[in-house]
Amino acid sequence: MTASTVTLERESLLTRYRRVRDLTETLSEPLSHEDQQAQSMPDVSPTKWHRAHTTWFFETFILTPELPGYRVVDERYAYLFNSYYEAVGDRHPRAERGLITRPTFEQITRYRAAVDDAMIRLIAESDHDLLARASARIELGLHHEQQHQELMLMDIKHVLARGSFDSAYRHGRTGGTANGASSRAPGARPLSWTTFDGGLCDIGTDEATPESFAFDNESPAHTVLLAPFALADRLVTVGEWKAFIADGGYQRAELWLSDGWATVQREGWDAPLYWQTEGDDVSVLTLDGRRPLHDAEPVVHVSHYEADAYAHWAGARLPTEFEWEHAAGVAGASPDDANVLPDRLADAALHPRAASGSGLQQMFGDVWEWTASAYLPYPRFRIADGAIGEYNGKFMSNQMVLRGGACVTPTGHLRATYRNFFYPHQRWMFSGVRLGRDV
Amino acid sequence: MTASTVTLERESLLTRYRRVRDLTETLSEPLSHEDQQAQSMPDVSPTKWHRAHTTWFFETFILTPELPGYRVVDERYAYLFNSYYEAVGDRHPRAERGLITRPTFEQITRYRAAVDDAMIRLIAESDHDLLARASARIELGLHHEQQHQELMLMDIKHVLARGSFDSAYRHGRTGGTANGASSRAPGARPLSWTTFDGGLCDIGTDEATPESFAFDNESPAHTVLLAPFALADRLVTVGEWKAFIADGGYQRAELWLSDGWATVQREGWDAPLYWQTEGDDVSVLTLDGRRPLHDAEPVVHVSHYEADAYAHWAGARLPTEFEWEHAAGVAGASPDDANVLPDRLADAALHPRAASGSGLQQMFGDVWEWTASAYLPYPRFRIADGAIGEYNGKFMSNQMVLRGGACVTPTGHLRATYRNFFYPHQRWMFSGVRLGRDV
Amino acid sequence: MTASTVTLERESLLTRYRRVRDLTETLSEPLSHEDQQAQSMPDVSPTKWHRAHTTWFFETFILTPELPGYRVVDERYAYLFNSYYEAVGDRHPRAERGLITRPTFEQITRYRAAVDDAMIRLIAESDHDLLARASARIELGLHHEQQHQELMLMDIKHVLARGSFDSAYRHGRTGGTANGASSRAPGARPLSWTTFDGGLCDIGTDEATPESFAFDNESPAHTVLLAPFALADRLVTVGEWKAFIADGGYQRAELWLSDGWATVQREGWDAPLYWQTEGDDVSVLTLDGRRPLHDAEPVVHVSHYEADAYAHWAGARLPTEFEWEHAAGVAGASPDDANVLPDRLADAALHPRAASGSGLQQMFGDVWEWTASAYLPYPRFRIADGAIGEYNGKFMSNQMVLRGGACVTPTGHLRATYRNFFYPHQRWMFSGVRLGRDV
Amino acid sequence: MTASTVTLERESLLTRYRRVRDLTETLSEPLSHEDQQAQSMPDVSPTKWHRAHTTWFFETFILTPELPGYRVVDERYAYLFNSYYEAVGDRHPRAERGLITRPTFEQITRYRAAVDDAMIRLIAESDHDLLARASARIELGLHHEQQHQELMLMDIKHVLARGSFDSAYRHGRTGGTANGASSRAPGARPLSWTTFDGGLCDIGTDEATPESFAFDNESPAHTVLLAPFALADRLVTVGEWKAFIADGGYQRAELWLSDGWATVQREGWDAPLYWQTEGDDVSVLTLDGRRPLHDAEPVVHVSHYEADAYAHWAGARLPTEFEWEHAAGVAGASPDDANVLPDRLADAALHPRAASGSGLQQMFGDVWEWTASAYLPYPRFRIADGAIGEYNGKFMSNQMVLRGGACVTPTGHLRATYRNFFYPHQRWMFSGVRLGRDV
């Protein structure tokens, strides 16, 4: 590698580092110190905690081991801002992150600045070997921070919804005006099916390269055998979901998985999260505030149980994660131009948009699509050594895979092999449904 | 079909009906009315309830729809003894089955006799068309009752363990003397690996026939692609598990799935269920009472979380359910001569036995083997219409597949395609571990 | 004391011992082994457990310390049948008494017989000194067993109510036919008030004597200062309670104590325990089965919270325990001829009866009357040394006093100074309401 | 009443209004916005909530009904800042006050200012009749705010203790330097007993007057009969409590009330709240931070269960609330010069001080003293009509009375008849112990 290649790489990494780190701060700007403090359920973390935890990640896994003479900003942060790395030591209880009033917002801002200074120095000035060694970890840290950017938006939506006073994350827009004219049309275009032959199909990706990052759970690349199948060419819409509700969808046990039905009964669910019915009017909470629902827009904030029951009711099923990944490849779907989170908040839709064209649409962005696949290791998957090995592997139990990304997933973070995962009862993330069926 | 063939079929069905129904009563004989009444946790059902529920199954799904003029024994039984069939109506709460003191033991005995009389009349006297129509359901009812025979033994073991006074189900034997000399040997023979090439492999079975019953979850037959793999030629033993414990197995977070580690912490687990340590002595509860543990015998009553952590510690993994099924077929493993539950209680081991020979052993009987596979529908699986459709499909969420059967599974109930399933935290069933690995 | 006096005493004690112990067995006779096994909530104990625990009391506190050479029937019983005596050692968890399937009914019957033999020998043959020393403890044991006789009836009513199949304790009677014509009359006679001057009043009783037993919590005798007050001359009736319900009694927060209102909301209470409304018909569960409610009968199975809210609604209040005791004395009320539990089950009403005469009625028997007094020690109360000291004193927290006894309290067990106590949310005992007011 | 008297009254009320309202803001000054947002358990409220709720009280009960043309600052505040007044409408759930991130700190500051403006106008300008009518309510509002000032300090101490990073409320002092030299002495002076004859004693006070405010639960004045008794002349100290611990106080069931023992077991208590033991060093959290414990200082943050067990262990008992009130009167104890909360935070000790003199000391201030009295209405107590009637009466269930006030109770808020009350398991308030005994 020539010196000038290295220089280019340094600059590219610096640019990328600054861009990702800046977006985190941009996302926290509309929020008061109080907003950034609250935790509405154990699954949710405060905005301030996200800002600190992502910083702790760089400090712990890069600066401390790699930057000679680096001194941690505050030794107590390790206890407060470790999320789940058992190998790194004890942690503040997850359900009590809302009680970490100290350090304050300003202290965390200073923490971010100090770590950024050191990171930028490391990227700009470290010798070639160190940089080569650290760059994969830095890349991981940036993708990690992008995951938390999405979590910040999911989480603050949940917090503000519970506060019940002013639940808008962003002011100055009517929620959903960004969605385009089609979302206010009375209904969406009719659903069509796209057919795939299946057969022996390539799934996953091997070791990530500097050019194309991937998480460990996307590897190893391997082959699966698929029967012929079809995918719906767009997401399930609000109008369709209303028909499901009107047909007793939430009252008919025969449509549901047993654990799903128990959840519906226990939680009293009768609609997706954030819907509210007053008389004939149904409204939905968006990050821009509460507004009327549009029949053409995709349904969002549904659990796997609801997705599965809806598919059952519709005479279809959920696609497997392999069907989804294969179809995305065959159809040439790409995250570019998808409705995802751009670097400028003002340009962000922050809500799924109605499908407007034809062909296999909305594969990336808009909403995470529930699949019929349990989150399990790929054949010959190996958990990495040390704390970084805890990144994905230990969660491969009881969760279901979602694919494609959502309107709150940062741009540049998605790819066809990306595997997201949540428990089947969860629905505070931006999750929706695409139908599949046998051919 | 000739008249004599029909007669033969009738007699064969009658014999089988009587044999299965008699075994249920045989299994309840060692128990007092009080033993048959108690429920030690929501997962467990009282013996009396099992005896009644299996009878209600025949009454509801065969006698009522098929036998002209049949009147149910007691209309209130439908509420008390429906297990989970939403389509059949409301039910007594599962967690309160131990409060059904009425009907009494004797009333349930009369209930069984009345239903048996009607069933035997139906089998012996019904016209050819009715019998042809009913026989698949009767077969399902018998396999259903066999499943509950195994549950009766698992459940009463749990009940008696909690009562803490006399916890033996069967008296007159030292627990495990039936296990043969090898189980008291200081250790088991060394573990070997049997290798399989994988490739495109046939899995599952199509619609059950009168000659070869299968549950709906075993269909459709289909092909999967397997990479080369190896299976351990015997089950994990007590001696090996002790080494896992001695090496801090229950204290090292890095060995565990995240949900598994949370369970270990919450429940305070430090050994398999029913083990008890006093000083240097480790004992185990068997259905014959408490006795010392033998290093050579298979470990039993472990959860999926423990099985997975053990495999991780051992540098191996759990096999998938497809690997297991393929290996059983290739190796010609058969449930005949396995350590399962015979018709005569006196002949039953009621506890797993040590492996004694060589080659791929203990595939059937002894203990249910945890796999790495989530319990999901096979491709193109369809849920049957009506209440019978609730039999298996609605449980395809959050559970893991186990294969092979156990020492308490009734003889004649097992086959290579059989899929059992439990939640990963459960361990009151006779569950154990066979290791797998990549080749 | 002369020899013949001693003989008379022995005979009297023997007669009394046999009478009390026999009644326990009489009360268990209508119940199957299964009925005697079940436990419907932690507060409830199985009938079999009551039969064993009362026996363990005599064995532990009299036979073991006093009868030379006595060997306990089974050493494991101490763990199973100790109710709460910390000083006597570890105990089986209270919430799991329903899991003690062993020892069986028959073993407990033999346990009772063996202890009775030894007790009768001790009473009949011990020397004068031993008898003198033991007789106070024997008397305590008999009153203790009488308390458990009442608990047996409360508890089995709760068990059978949850089983939902046949909820009658006693068959062959229509519930409440024993209540006399008046209970089926459309309403009760109008309520009158009896006025008392108050002043310095004597309360409680000093050390119990052989002739007149009292529990430690009734002592020391002392004087309290009472303002003038009035008591209702009969219990609150079903007809009156229906008016409270019809007036929104269970929906109006302003009538309730804060903790009471939280309980109503959490439990969904809208009527006393064991009431059931279908259309216009309101029925009640009695120990003789379910039957229509009569307006004239006293309301029973209400909590302190409900009693207090009712009194508030009625413009009255609950009397203090001192007002009740003083009034009982002034009015010459006596437990004789009250509706309590006689020795013969056939003679027992087992349900409160309507008031039929005039004057201050129903002070004893029928229902335990909630008072406005917290259960606290009397001035200069001292807890006795040793395990017996745990009898009453340690419960003097968070509970409220009830006075007068109920239709299920054994005859001979009541007196004006008797203090019963329950938590304010409990209502499975035979509790009701008498109003008081200031004058 | 002359015009000048009215003017004097107005000015006195204005002064007092400003003084009380200002102290609330003074108390919140050391806290960040985040500190003021967090809620560490349902019993605790965020500082911001206290600041808003006390303001809502004046707006709802005085400005809205009395000030013509007054418009509430924000109609949504009624839902958010109503604490428990059922008559005033629905409320935000108590356990979720920490989720009210909006309105923000600044909005609440403006809310306080707007209400203060209107209140000052009302006091300064309203006609004589209105002022006469409103002044009792204003007085109630001020005493209500003083109660919340104490709660603010208790609550923030609990919040900061859970955050585990920097748990000091006030910086710049070593916790307890204000306590005087005696608190660092190795032990306290020996305990002496002060004897009282008892007899017929006056308790409580009648309707509050403008000159001498009292809560409704202190009335009516009435007479009780007391036996002779003695009170300890000082509070129980840390040194004495250490002896209790060293003697197995938290391990000996026989010392405890039954509910108390269950609480100790469930919570794992082995010392007062906020104590921390590392090796031989025992430290305590104060509002000035963590510091070593001094043997001479009073023990604080103990539950009623612990207070009762300690008294039992010490061969004494807790005094009744009547004994305490009578003794305070006879001994001429006064809240003046007691260790309470002054208007200037810099002058506040914020922690109990060691007893320094002789005679009956520390009756007021330092710590709230648990009594043996359940919190019940005085004879002929009447609950006031309307929402104000909910102030005290509805809590008269399951709680125990504490007397005397604490180092965090605002000056001017205490008197001998004052009745505070908490549940017996609570200990986050500044509660301690004075012994009593029979004579």
Residue D16 CA: distances (Å) to CA of B429, C283, C434, D20, D24: 72, 60, 47, 6, 13
Whether B164 has a pLDDT exceeding 50, the answer reads yes
- Number of other CB atoms surrounding residue A206 within 10 Å: 11
Whether B411 has a pLDDT exceeding 80, the answer reads yes
Q: Between residues 236 and 265 of chain C, which touch chain D (CB distance below 8 Å)?
A: 253-254, 256-261
Whether D209 has a pLDDT exceeding 80, the answer reads no
- Determine the Cα angle at A300 with ends A298 and A303, to 5°: 135
Helix (H) or strand (E) holding A439: none
Residue A225, helix vs strand vs coil: strand
Whether D210 has a pLDDT exceeding 70, the answer reads no
Whether D227 has a pLDDT exceeding 60, the answer reads yes
For residue C174, the model assigns a pLDDT of: 65
Residue B26 and residue D10: Cα distance in Å, rounded? Answer: 92
Q: Give the phi and the psi of residue A230 in degrees, each rounded to 5.
A: -130, 150
Contacts of C37 in chain B (CB under 8 A): 33-34, 37-38, 101
State whether CATH 3.90.1580.10 applies to domain A193-438.
Answer: yes
Task: Report CB contact under 8 Å: A35, D160.
Answer: no
- Nearest chain A residue to D75 by CA distance is A165
For residue B87, the model assigns a pLDDT of: 82
Residue D243 and residue B138: Cα distance in Å, rounded? Answer: 74
Amino acid at A395: F
List the domain boundaries for chain B: 3-162, 193-438
Shortest Cα distance from D101 to chain A (angstroms)? 5
Shortest Cα distance from A164 to chain D (angstroms)? 8
The tokens describing B277, both together, are: 């340590």
Please, do chains B and D touch (3+ CB pairs < 8 Å)? no
| Pairwise pLDDT comparison (D278 vs A41), residue with the higher score | A41
Confidence band of D1 (pLDDT split at 50, 70, 90): low
Task: Report CB contact under 8 Å: D376, C380.
Answer: no
Q: Give the phi and the psi of residue D359 in degrees, each rounded to 5.
A: 85, 180
Q: Is A94 on the interface with D (CB under 8 A)?
A: no
Q: Tell which residue, B276, B272, B319, has the closest CA to residue B300.
A: B272
Whether A3 has a pLDDT exceeding 80, the answer reads no
Contact C302, C244 (CB under 8 A): no
Task: Report CB contact under 8 Å: C396, D224.
Answer: no
DSSP strand pairing (B289-292 vs C229-232): unpaired
Which letter does DSSP use for residue A288 in this model?
T
Contact B402, B375 (CB under 8 A): no
Radius of gyration of chain C (CA): 22
Contact D23, D410 (CB under 8 A): yes
Q: Is D266 on the interface with C (CB under 8 A)?
A: no
Name residue A286's beta-bridge partners. A289
DSSP strand pairing (A368-374 vs A431-432): parallel
Q: Tell which residue, A146, A147, A176, has the closest CA to residue A352.
A: A176
The tokens describing C133, both together, are: 């020393």
Task: Report CB contact under 8 Å: C225, D223.
Answer: yes
Contacts of residue C172, Cβ cutoff 8 Å, sequence gap at least 6:
none
Whether A178 has a pLDDT exceeding 80, the answer reads no
Which sign, positive or negative, has the C-alpha torsion D285, D289, D295, D298? Answer: negative
Give the chains touching A; criterion: ≥3 Cβ pairs < 8 Å: B, D
| Pairwise pLDDT comparison (B74 vs C358), residue with the higher score | B74
Task: Report CB contact under 8 Å: D160, A34.
Answer: no
Q: Is D82 on the interface with A (CB under 8 A)?
A: no
Please, do chains C and B touch (3+ CB pairs < 8 Å)? yes
For residue B174, the model assigns a pLDDT of: 66
Whether C198 has a pLDDT exceeding 60, the answer reads yes
Q: Tell which residue, A390, C304, D45, has the closest CA to residue B254.
A: A390
Mutate which of C226, C258, C303, C382 to disrupt the D interface (most D C-beta within 10 Å)?
C258
Contact A240, A199 (CB under 8 A): no
Residue C75 and residue D48: Cα distance in Å, rounded? Answer: 60
Q: Is C380 on the interface with D (CB under 8 A)?
A: yes
Task: Report CB contact under 8 Å: A376, B376.
Answer: no
pLDDT, tens digit (0-9, with 9 covering 90-100), for B88-107: 888 899 999 999 999 999 99
Q: Is D40 on the interface with A (CB under 8 A)?
A: yes
Residue D208 and residue D136: Cα distance in Å, rounded? Answer: 9
Whether C183 has a pLDDT exceeding 50, the answer reads no
pLDDT, tens digit (0-9, with 9 covering 90-100), for C217-260: 999 999 999 999 999 999 999 999 999 999 999 999 999 999 99
Task: Report CB contact under 8 Å: B200, A225.
Answer: yes
Confidence band of A121 (pLDDT split at 50, 70, 90): very high
Task: Report CB contact under 8 Å: D159, A76.
Answer: no
Reported as half-sphere exposure (CB side, CA atoms, 13 A), residue A242 has a value of 20
- Nearest chain B residue to C39 by CA distance is B99
For residue B180, the model assigns a pLDDT of: 42
Confidence band of C186 (pLDDT split at 50, 70, 90): low
Confidence band of A174 (pLDDT split at 50, 70, 90): low
Whether D52 has a pLDDT exceeding 80, the answer reads yes
Residue A374 and residue A421: Cα distance in Å, rounded? Answer: 9
For residue B208, the model assigns a pLDDT of: 65
pLDDT, tens digit (0-9, with 9 covering 90-100), for C94-127: 999 999 999 999 999 999 999 999 999 999 999 9
Amino acid at C323: E
Residue C143 CA: distances (Å) to CA of B106, C122, C146, C241: 36, 18, 5, 33
Strand stretches in B146-295, DSSP E: 193-196, 199-203, 222-226, 229-232, 275-278, 281-286, 289-292
Q: Give the phi and the psi of residue D286 in degrees, each rounded to 5.
A: -115, 175
Which letter does DSSP use for residue A277 in this model?
E
Output the average pLDDT for chain B: 93
Confidence band of A1 (pLDDT split at 50, 70, 90): low
**Average pLDDT estimate for A329-357:** 95
Confidence band of A175 (pLDDT split at 50, 70, 90): low
Residue A165 CA: distances (Å) to CA of A70, A91, A227, D74: 45, 33, 51, 11
Burial of C62 (C-beta count, 10 Å sphere; 0-12/13-18/19+): buried
Task: Report CB contact under 8 Å: B101, C32.
Answer: yes
Whether B179 has a pLDDT exceeding 80, the answer reads no
Confidence band of C268 (pLDDT split at 50, 70, 90): very high
Number of helices (H), then strands (E), belonging to chain B: the values are 10, 12
Q: Which of B259, B379, B394 sits opposite A257 (nearest CB)?
A: B394
For residue C180, the model assigns a pLDDT of: 42
DSSP strand pairing (B436-438 vs B229-232): antiparallel
Output the average pLDDT for chain A: 93
Q: Tell which residue, B350, B361, B399, has the closest CA to residue B236.
A: B361
Contact A304, A424 (CB under 8 A): yes
Residue B82 and residue A425: Cα distance in Å, rounded? Answer: 26
Q: Which of D225, D373, D390 sits opposite C225 (nearest CB)?
A: D225
**Average pLDDT estimate for C49-64:** 97
Q: Is C305 on the interface with D (CB under 8 A)?
A: yes
Task: Report CB contact under 8 Å: D390, C254.
Answer: yes
For residue B133, the model assigns a pLDDT of: 87
Contact C367, C300 (CB under 8 A): yes
For residue D354, the model assigns a pLDDT of: 96
Reported as half-sphere exposure (CB side, CA atoms, 13 A), residue D281 has a value of 6
For residue D391, the model assigns a pLDDT of: 76
Contacts of A40 in chain D (CB under 8 A): 99
Contacts of residue B215, Cβ cutoff 8 Å, sequence gap at least 6:
B143, B208, B391, B392, B418, B419
pLDDT, tens digit (0-9, with 9 covering 90-100), for D317-376: 999 999 999 999 999 999 999 999 999 999 999 999 999 888 999 999 999 999 999 999
pLDDT, tens digit (0-9, with 9 covering 90-100), for C137-169: 999 999 999 999 999 999 999 999 997 789 999
DSSP code per residue over A58-72: HIIIIIHHHSTT---
pLDDT, tens digit (0-9, with 9 covering 90-100), for B103-145: 999 999 999 999 999 999 999 999 989 998 899 999 999 999 9
Contact C50, C155 (CB under 8 A): yes
Confidence band of A179 (pLDDT split at 50, 70, 90): very low
Cis peptide bond upstream of B46, omega within 30: no
In percent, the amount of chain A with pLDDT more than 70 equals 95
Confidence band of A307 (pLDDT split at 50, 70, 90): very high
Residue D382 and residue D207: Cα distance in Å, rounded? Answer: 11
Whether D69 has a pLDDT exceeding 50, the answer reads yes
Q: Between residues 384 and 423 of chain A, which touch chain B (CB distance below 8 Å)?
A: 389-390, 394-398
Contacts of A52 in chain D (CB under 8 A): none
Shortest Cα distance from B66 to chain C (angstroms)? 27
Predicted ipTM of the assembly: 0.95
- Number of other CB atoms surrounding residue A64 within 10 Å: 13
A-to-B residue pairs, Cβ atoms closer than 8 angstroms: 77
Mutate which of B217, B225, B304 to disrupt the A interface (most A C-beta within 10 Å)?
B225
- Domain D3-162, CATH number (from 1.10.3470, 3.90.380, 1.20.120, 3.40.50): 1.20.120
Task: Quickly tell me which residue has 């962003």 as its tokens.
Answer: A170
Angle (deg, nearest 10), helices B258-267 and B304-313? 110
- Number of other CB atoms surrounding residue B385 within 10 Å: 9
End-to-end distance of chain B based on CA atoms, in angstroms?
Answer: 51
Number of helices (H), then strands (E), belonging to chain A: the values are 10, 12
For residue A183, the model assigns a pLDDT of: 43
- Nearest chain B residue to C158 by CA distance is B99
Q: Which of C87, C256, C374 sits opposite D254 (nearest CB)?
A: C87
Task: Report CB contact under 8 Å: A102, D34.
Answer: yes
pLDDT, tens digit (0-9, with 9 covering 90-100), for B267-320: 999 999 999 998 889 999 999 999 999 999 999 999 999 999 999 999 999 999
Task: Report CB contact under 8 Å: B162, C92.
Answer: no
Q: Is A47 on the interface with D (CB under 8 A)?
A: no
